[in-house]
């Protein structure tokens, strides 16, 4: 009753938490990566130590029980930046252990639909960022893109950019979550690394020219008679504009 | 890279922007050792201040043109600056923009210089430079020049992902009026050819996967709406035929914007954007919802209702088919319910295998109950709060007009007096 749980933020940690749960009914009221700032009067916070072996075992069990289709939304939802995400995932997985493969078709179930909605939000944002990434050519021969997505979408968009820009060195930096993907074209591999914002990188002279070309092209493209700023803002929300070359100045 | 290129880019983008085709979907060209690939879902990269998406670098090779089509900015009698890009410049711009992830690919159109064949060869050379010299595997949409040699058309299809010819006007008469240099047959001819080439290529690829793809994202076309007195019925029926007979991927509709004054063109006070929107809705009903043109429009209603979307309009004319029980109706029946789209219909089918669906479940599945409530029952319960009657429902379903005009309250006798004076002054009386 009134318990809260805290883990290290990895999928392994969350799985350990689930595996150690005595019964489905004992799901804590809140799960977080850090102990809650304000604790309830009668609540006690349990910190779960990640046990990689136990987590791996539990993952296998889940895979066997839910099938890969049942676990797909969990992967996306885990990347969500949402205070309830851990709880939603746990509720879904516990139902999945009960119901098996059919859980992925129980779209209207109150334990399933919130998770699917969250996963959809993450996937949609990831898709939008396939278009919203703007690379800038940095002196030193690589392309750098900065962005601040709501959710941690980097893992979802990395394969797309790795396939598309395999002949250039590039970095995509998520400033909000302090991480970035670095692509190495010689090894054809990408890596997710923690990344700090430091000084603004130095851009090549050619970069400046292409930015100007793009900005003037973008301005020309609009048809004055069809002006519809509301529609534009629903497609390109103000929060993403600081990172887009065409909306700069 | 210099100011000269910037100027050219501005002029040539300005000439191409009225081509509405924007999609970058339908092709999944892989990146074989160069740069770029095509995402089959299509990706939008930005949106301009008119709310249209930017996906491709949409540009003309040149805005010089020998034709004099009344609706076109590039018509020969229009007094504007004429410029041209070299194939090398097109390639450099495309690659520069692509590397920075500004765009998904290239949309290359052109004015017609010297002859259709000569112009077509120019386009092909630019695209070939991109594909072979720069090893570009991204999306390319190429315009065919009506009247070009069939061999050139074939060559274009092997290089591009999508090819298109613009039909421009829905009827032969309208075309003769506004584009006297283009004949209907010169436009439909290449469309037929492309369609048969696509069909042949598909068959050949079934035999062997090594046969190169011909226009993997198919062909599309564009119609200008509102420049001529054609009805929606004529337009939608034409689209249906294009989809069925010529296997087109998309028909685009472009609300007529008077870019130049010409006695042959109507002087519209505003561009028919609402009509364009309704036509797109009808177009989606044709392609994804199993509707046919004659169900949406007939002799008595030749134009789409501007206040109601075409599906709701259809449903109101066929109330005998409603309400539909969501737990029993098949997929095709669900698709015809206003407020249920392709996704929610699929979800309903999946979810109801696991148990009966009630109204709450429908909301959770993403059904738009604002409209659907009047047309469905769930577990036998009707969700709407009024009788299923056309007049009553219409009042509920009509979209409220976009802007509320704020008017100052005034006393009736004052306005009357003012009106009379105004009329007298302007000489109306």
Express each pLDDT in B345-382 by its tens digit.
999 999 999 889 999 999 999 999 999 999 999 999 99
Place of tokens 């609300």: B255
* Structure confidence at residue A32 (pLDDT): 82
pLDDT value of residue B275: 92
Q: A225 and B96: CB-CB below 8 Å? A: no
The CA-CA-CA angle for residues B294, B296, B301, to 5°, reads 90
Domain with B132, as residue range(s), is 3-296
Q: Do A143 and B99 touch (CB under 8 A)?
A: yes
Note whether B219 and B351 are same-domain residues. no
Domain end, chosen from A68, A93, A123, is at A123
- Does one domain contain both B224 and B290? yes
**Vertex A98 angle, CA A93 and A100, to 5°:** 80
Residue B412 lies in a domain: no
Q: Which of B60-74, B300-314, B393-407 has the lowest mean pLDDT?
A: B393-407
pTM of the model: 0.89
CB neighbourhood size of B148 (10 A): 25
Can you tell me the mean pLDDT for B280-295?
A: 95
How close is the nearest chain B Cα to the Cα of A75, in Å?
20
Contacts of A231 in chain B (CB under 8 A): 47, 50-51
Distance from CA of A114 to the nearest CA of B (A): 9
Q: Say whether pLDDT at B259 is over 70.
A: no
Residue B416 binned pLDDT confidence (cut-offs 50, 70, 90): very low
Task: Tell me the residues of chain A between 105 and 144 that have a Cβ less than 8 Å away from chain B.
Answer: 105-110, 113, 127, 130-137, 143
User: What pLDDT was estimated at residue B298?
Assistant: 87
User: Which residues does chain B have within 8 Å of residue A143's beta carbon, measured at their own beta carbons?
Assistant: 99-100
Size of interface A-B (CB pairs under 8 A): 155
Among residues A78, A101, A123, the one where a domain terminates is: A123
The mean per-residue pLDDT over the stretch A190-212 comes to 88
Number of structural domains, chain B? 2
Cβ-based contacts of B365 with chain A (< 8 Å): 107-108, 113
Residue % of chain B over a pLDDT of 70: 90
Query: pLDDT band at residue A33, thresholds of 50, 70 and 90?
Result: confident
ipTM: 0.92
| pLDDT exceeds cutoff 70 at A38 | no
**B205 and B177 share a domain?**
yes
Asked, as a colleague might, if the bond just before B27 is cis with ω within 30 of 0, I would say: no
- Is A127 in contact with B96 (Cβ distance < 8 A)? no
What is the number of domains present in chain A? Answer: 2
CA distance B174 to B172: 6
Q: What is the mean pLDDT of residues B7-19?
A: 91
**pLDDT at res. B73:** 83
Mean pLDDT in residue range B163-167? 91
| A166 touches B: beta carbon within 8 Å | yes
- Mean pLDDT to the nearest integer, B286-314: 92
B161 and B206 fall within a common domain: yes
The residue out of A101, A123, A145 marking a domain boundary is: A123
Work out the minimum CA distance from B170 to partner chain A, whole angstroms: 22
Domain of residue A44 covers 4-123
Q: Do B1 and A206 touch (CB under 8 A)?
A: yes
Buried b (16+ CB within 10 A) or exposed e, B106-145: bbbbbbbbeebeebbbbbbebbbbbbeebebbbbbbbbbb
Contacts of B267 in chain A (CB under 8 A): none
Q: What chain B residue is nearest to A137 in terms of C-alpha separation?
A: B100
Residue A128 covered by a domain: no
Neighbours of B19 (CB within 10 A): 18
Q: CA of B403 to nearest chain A CA: how many angstroms apart?
A: 13
Is the separation of the CB atoms in A170 and A201 below 8 Å? no
């Amino acid at each position: 009753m009134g318990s809260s749980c805290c883990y290290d933020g990895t999928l392994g940690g969350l799985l350990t938490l689930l595996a150690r749960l005595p019964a489905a009914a004992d799901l804590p009221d809140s799960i977080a990566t850090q102990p809650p700032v304000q604790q309830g009067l009668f609540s006690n916070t349990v910190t779960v130590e990640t046990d990689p072996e136990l987590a791996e075992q539990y993952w296998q069990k889940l895979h066997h029980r839910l099938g890969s289709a049942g676990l797909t939304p969990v992967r996306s939802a885990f990347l969500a930046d949402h205070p309830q995400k851990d709880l939603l995932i746990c509720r879904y997985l516990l139902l999945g252990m009960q119901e098996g493969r059919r859980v992925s078709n129980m779209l209207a179930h109150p334990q399933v639909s919130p998770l699917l909605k969250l996963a959809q939000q993450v996937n949609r944002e990831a898709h939008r960022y396939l278009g919203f990434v703007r690379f800038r050519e940095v002196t030193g021969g690589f392309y750098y893109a900065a962005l601040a997505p709501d959710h941690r979408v980097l893992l979802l968009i990395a394969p797309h950019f790795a396939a598309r820009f395999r002949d250039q060195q590039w970095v995509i930096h998520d400033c909000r979550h302090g991480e970035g993907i670095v692509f190495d074209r010689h090894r054809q591999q990408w890596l997710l690394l923690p990344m700090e914002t430091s000084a603004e990188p130095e851009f090549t002279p050619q970069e400046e020219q292409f930015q100007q070309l793009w900005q003037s092209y973008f301005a020309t493209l609009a048809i004055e008679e069809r002006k519809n700023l509301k529609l534009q803002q629903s497609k390109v929300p103000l929060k993403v504009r600081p990172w887009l070359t065409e909306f700069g100045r | 890279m210099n100011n000269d290129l910037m100027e050219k880019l501005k002029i040539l983008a300005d000439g191409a922007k009225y081509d509405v085709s924007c999609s970058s979907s339908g092709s999944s060209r892989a990146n074989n050792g160069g740069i770029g690939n095509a995402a089959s879902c299509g990706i939008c990269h930005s949106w301009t201040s008119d709310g249209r998406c930017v996906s491709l670098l949409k540009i003309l090779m040149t805005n010089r043109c020998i034709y004099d089509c009344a609706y076109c900015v590039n018509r020969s009698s229009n007094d504007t600056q004429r410029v041209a890009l070299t194939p090398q410049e097109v390639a450099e711009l495309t690659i520069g923009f692509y590397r920075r992830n500004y765009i998904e690919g290239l949309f290359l159109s052109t004015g017609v210089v010297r002859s259709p064949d000569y112009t077509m060869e120019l386009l092909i050379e630019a695209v070939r430079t991109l594909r072979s010299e720069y090893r570009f595997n991204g999306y390319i949409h190429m315009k065919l020049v009506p009247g070009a040699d069939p061999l050139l058309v074939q060559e274009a299809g092997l290089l591009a992902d999508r090819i298109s010819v613009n039909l421009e006007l829905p009827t032969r008469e309208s075309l003769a009026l506004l584009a006297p240099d283009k004949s209907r047959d010169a436009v439909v001819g290449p469309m037929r050819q492309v369609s048969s080439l696509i069909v042949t290529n598909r068959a050949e690829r079934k035999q062997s996967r090594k046969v190169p793809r011909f226009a993997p994202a198919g062909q599309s076309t564009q119609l200008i709406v509102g420049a001529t007195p054609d009805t929606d019925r004529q337009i939608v029926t034409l689209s249906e035929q294009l989809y069925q007979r010529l296997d087109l991927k998309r028909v685009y509709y472009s609300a007529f914007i008077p870019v130049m004054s010409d006695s042959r063109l109507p002087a519209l006070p505003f561009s028919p954007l609402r009509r364009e929107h309704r036509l797109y809705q009808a177009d989606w009903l044709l392609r994804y919802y199993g509707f046919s043109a004659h169900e949406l429009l007939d002799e008595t209603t030749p134009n789409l209702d501007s206040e109601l979307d075409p599906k709701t309009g259809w449903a109101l004319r066929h109330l005998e088919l409603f309400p539909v029980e969501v737990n029993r109706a098949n997929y095709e029946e669900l698709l015809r319910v206003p407020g249920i789209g392709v996704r929610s219909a699929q979800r309903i089918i999946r979810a109801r295998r696991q148990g009966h669906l009630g109204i709450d479940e429908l909301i959770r599945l993403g059904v738009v109950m604002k409209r659907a409530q009047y047309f469905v029952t769930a577990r036998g319960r009707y969700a709407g709060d009024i009788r299923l009657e056309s007049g009553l429902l219409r009042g509920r379903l009509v979209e409220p007009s976009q802007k509320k005009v704020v008017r100052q309250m005034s006393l009736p006798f004052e306005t009357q007096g003012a009106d009379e004076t105004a009329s007298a002054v302007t000489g109306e009386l």
